[in-house]
Structure 1
């Protein structure tokens, strides 16, 4: 078996002949080598077939989250100008997207054909997927293909940039293959493995380390449209799943139900935790209470995973680090003046190696000016590499909270607060200082264990015990039953800050 979703399953021969059929339909639609098609789909088998089809035809596959609204979707279409847009009018638990699709098409200036998958209706200007495919005959399984390779563009990951505008990251065949093959070797992924993918396949995490990892290893994948722990257990039991992956929100959900879920999770060999970080205290509980190995990674859309823990990593490094560098990649830490720093010293993290993307798509060209003179890419993350060679992430440069002339140690506060017995997970955000106008003030946001309570004085007592400067203490506490999450399941800090700063937002406040 190659790929399973909630609607059915495809063997590798089905996947291959289906991909040849899609490729021929693209050719009949006027899509040729080097042209771009956009996939904006849930975790469905059609995405996997489309990805293989594009690769066999030398077509560039672009993708963006299906949960995006009109502004972001229209921005992606305007930026990448695809020849075909594969999407759907409805997803599990989501509102109807008919109006979004119609308005997005109205705003497009270049020729574009929208192909609607698993959609009952087809508004004006769109084509039902089965009608689009029915215009061509299914080729034979031994049909010759002339796909691209090497430095030819393979895929464009369209993400939401920090400035609020879509950012298009271009990978070529060599960079994608190198990044994924490295993980397959290090984590010993074999054809007998079955990979559970509940992370969006229209994001690099799900595409590289779910879809491509399974395909490049000759393994199988089981797609879950939306992460639900109980459904994950059912899928593990039905399909003998051995590997899963996801952000902190997935780990926290499994941890909250560890007593219930533990037995059903024993078949997993490992779970790749990436996309964001968890405090060491929370990770320790996860390692102790969940019955599978957690492979912690650090990665970005621009280069995939550059560090990881594996089966040889000592326990403490699995808990307090995001792993050691992949063999092919090189990391260095620089201070604000660009001077390299030694082990244990915090600075900005830079990466270099064969996983690095080709550049950002900008208008009619790819902006390749993305590395420094030595070939290093500035990740924008803060961290340090210990004497043991393992990377610790201490924050994100843009997440720094400035209180007057001082920098609040966000990662330290989050780690200490998360260590409180009542706390499941903690995040500290910076809200405008309306009282003194001294930049920002830290606000503690916490998700608690069932039946637990927490007050701001308790946090202050905890920080005092650890000798944290009083000026850095949070001035407020907000307790959340659920975190606001982005399309990939990562914590959405911007949405969290908005909830904190808007008095009428839904929250429990202490």
Structure 2
């Protein structure tokens, strides 16, 4: 069972963080209960439908759900999997599982039976919370099939609506029958709380467990960085099954503000939420903005409530940020950097120049150390590309049950190597220049595609771009540009090359092949999956 593999940071490290005050001894549920006592009638989470829960209501219902889980025979340290859209039920499950001392393991909505089987087996989940059946998928049936296959999985809980079969538990029924008793053996801030998978759904998944120590420490540091306030209303587009989405929930919790989650993205739904929900803070990914702009969904909208649009999850083309910001009469766009392993660790300054806000990921949050080093581990100065490494109180203790990944991820002096290439600008901002695994090897010349993709994104007819390696008999790899275009437009490789020549991109770094695709393969958090794109474009026998 994976929870047995969870290990906290070394004792001396933990003691240092506690002494510094960056780690505290309260849990997320302690903080929820504190707001429930101070502001019981203040709305914490509101759905687009208008359905909402106050701090007081969520504190009560999550306590009942925690007792209901214990009544099933679950105990402190057990893993509970969840595959739900961002919703009130997800928030109830989040706080309910954490309150009884469980570890919530998130599983993205697109995952099907094979992916779920691997992750449920790896995590040793004792229960799984899922959405009801709909016209496309019967999730309860899939979970029940896996329950019969996996010895650890004992219970399937359906979060909303009706379900046929005595083998299922309805969340609403569980809550209605449960007591409001205090938890006899409550968790501490140092206990495992949240399990997220960073990559891989088979053989050797890379999984991370965070405790409330790191989750709350990051939220408190980050919300200060963006000047979060109690009267803020945060729209959260990243799914709650991803650490980005849940850390946005935690951000709001630290200041007692409210949230409105997006359950399923479409450009129109995104634009409607921007206008109708009147958010002051919007968390999203560059793909959300690009798709909404492509569909011309912002014209004539009243977006005056928005103060800050914060992007993460992928690199953003400055042209997309600029175009979107032009629709915000009172708002600005900024960019953060974060990972499942590190949480949210950098943020652009709201008052900095557009070039800094749109072209960098900003400066480290207070207390997080960042360095950019060469191949020998020597620190680099501004303008020189190297490996991005992190150190501080939000970084994971290590991947679960994956010694090989840990050995590769951590340096001998304890820094976490992100796998990203980056450089400093002249103002102390971090500029992400790419992923080391995305480098294209053209005849022995290593080409980082990041700046080329940024230049291509400036083309008015191009919505999304991904440069990937195209197999070549002579050079080994050539550069292929996969593009999504505005409706009714196209571009040839010659025209694209001329466009890049005007932007001083060397000929050897220009794409030698162009493929126009209807849509890119994307992760649930709207990152382009380049490995899958390569398989689609260049299938092997």
TM-score normalised to structure 1 length: 0.89
User: 2:315, 2:196 → 1: CA distance?
Assistant: 22
CA distance in 2, matches of 1:162, 1:99: 20
For 2:203 and 2:280, the matched residues in 1 are separated by: 37
CA displacement 1:460-482 (0-9 Å, x = unmatched): 22233344343332121122343
RMSD: 2.7
1:133-152 alignment to 2 at 5 Å?
A: 133-137=175-179, 139=180, 143=182, 147-152=186-191
Matched position secondary structure for 1:360: coil
CA distance in 2, matches of 1:408, 1:369: 23
Closer, same or farther in 2 for the Cα pair 1:268/1:336, shift >3 Å? same
The residue number in structure 2 matching 1:459 is 496
Segment drifting more, 24-33 vs 123-132: 123-132
Residue among 319, 340, 344 paired with 2:383: 344
CA distance in 1, matches of 2:440, 2:254: 42
The alpha carbon displacement at 1:316 in A equals 1.5
1:170-214 deviation digits (Å, cap 9, x = unpaired):
1121111111111211111112111112321011010111x2122
Q: Which runs of 5 or more structure 2 residues have no equivalent in the other structure? A: 1-42
* 2:285 matches 1:242: no
1:274-330 C-alpha deviation (Å, 9 max, x unpaired): 000123333333333444311201111111121111322222101211111111211
Over 3 Å counting, the alpha-carbon distance change for 1:363 and 1:162 in structure 2 is closer
Is it true that 1:374 corresponds to 2:413 in the alignment?
A: yes
**Could you tell me how far apart the structure 2 residues matched to 1:368 and 1:471 are?**
35
Within a 5 Å distance, the mapping from 1:176-191 to structure 2 comes to 176-191=215-230
How far 1:151 sits from its partner (Å)?
A: 2.4
1:320 to 359, 363, 373: 359
Distance 1:397 1:369, change over 3 A: closer
2:68–2:178 Cα contact (<8 Å) kept: yes
Distance, in Å, in 1 between the alignment partners of 2:402 and 2:267 is: 42
Q: Of 457, 481, 500, which aligns to 1:444? A: 481
Q: Structure 1 residues 199, 35: closer, same or farther in 2, change over 3 A?
A: same
Structure-2 residue corresponding to 1:47: 90
Give 1:261-272 correspondences, 5 Å limit. Answer: 261=299, 263-272=301-310
CA distance in 2, matches of 1:461, 1:318: 29
Q: Contact 1:336–1:347 (CA<8 Å) still a contact in 2?
A: yes
Identify which of 335, 358, 375 aligns with 2:374: 335
In structure 2, how many angstroms separate the alpha carbons of the residues matched to 1:374 and 1:324?
22
User: Which residue is equivalent to 2:424?
Assistant: 385
Equivalences for residues 488-507 of structure 1 within 5 A: 488-502=525-539
Q: What is the distance in 2 between the residues matched to 1:18 and 1:148?
A: 18
1:215 paired with 2:253, answer yes
For residues 469-509 of structure 1, the C-alpha deviation after alignment (integer angstroms, 9 at most, x for no partner) is 43332121122343322222222223322332259xxxxxx
What is the alpha-carbon distance in structure 2 between the residues aligned to residue 65 and residue 160 of structure 1? Answer: 12
1:57 is aligned to 100
- Tell me the secondary structure at the aligned position of residue 263 of structure 1: coil
Shift of 1:123: 4.9
Aligned to 2:200: 161
Task: List runs of 5+ in structure 1 lacking aligned partners.
Answer: 504-510
CA distance in 1, matches of 2:174, 2:141: 21
Give the secondary structure class of the aligned counterpart of 2:315.
coil
Q: CA deviation at 1:79?
A: 0.9
* Matching of residues 26-425 of structure 1 within 5 Å: 26-90=69-133, 94-123=136-165, 125-137=167-179, 139=180, 143=182, 147-161=186-200, 165-209=204-248, 211-257=249-295, 260-261=298-299, 263-291=301-329, 292-362=331-401, 371-425=410-464
2-structure distance, mates of 1:449, 1:380: 32
In structure 1, the residue corresponding to 2:399 is in which secondary structure? strand
The aligned residue for residue 40 of structure 2 is none
CA distance in 1 between partners of 2:241 and 2:407 (Å) = 23
Aligned residues: 495
Q: TM-score, normalised by structure 2?
A: 0.84
Do residues 12 (structure 1) and 77 (structure 2) align?
no
CA 1:306–1:149 in 2, change beyond 3 Å: closer, same or farther? Answer: same
Shift of 1:363: 8.3
In structure 2, C-alpha distance between the alignment counterparts of 1:146 and 1:239, rounded to whole Å: 39
Query: Which deviations, in whole Å up to 9, do the C-alpha atoms of 1:32-66 show, x marking residues without a partner?
Result: 22222111111121111121122322222221212
Separation in structure 2 between the aligned mates of residue 387 and residue 431 of structure 1, nearest angstrom: 35
The verdict on how the C-alpha distance between 1:363 and 1:316 changes in structure 2, with shifts beyond 3 A counting, is: closer
Moved more, 162-171 or 476-485: 162-171
1:280 & 1:130 partners in 2: Cα distance?
A: 45
1:486/1:168 CA distance change after superposition, 3 Å: same
SS of structure 1 residue aligned to 2:301: helix
Residue 52 and residue 418 in structure 1: after superposition, are their counterparts in 2 closer, same or farther (change >3 A)?
Answer: same
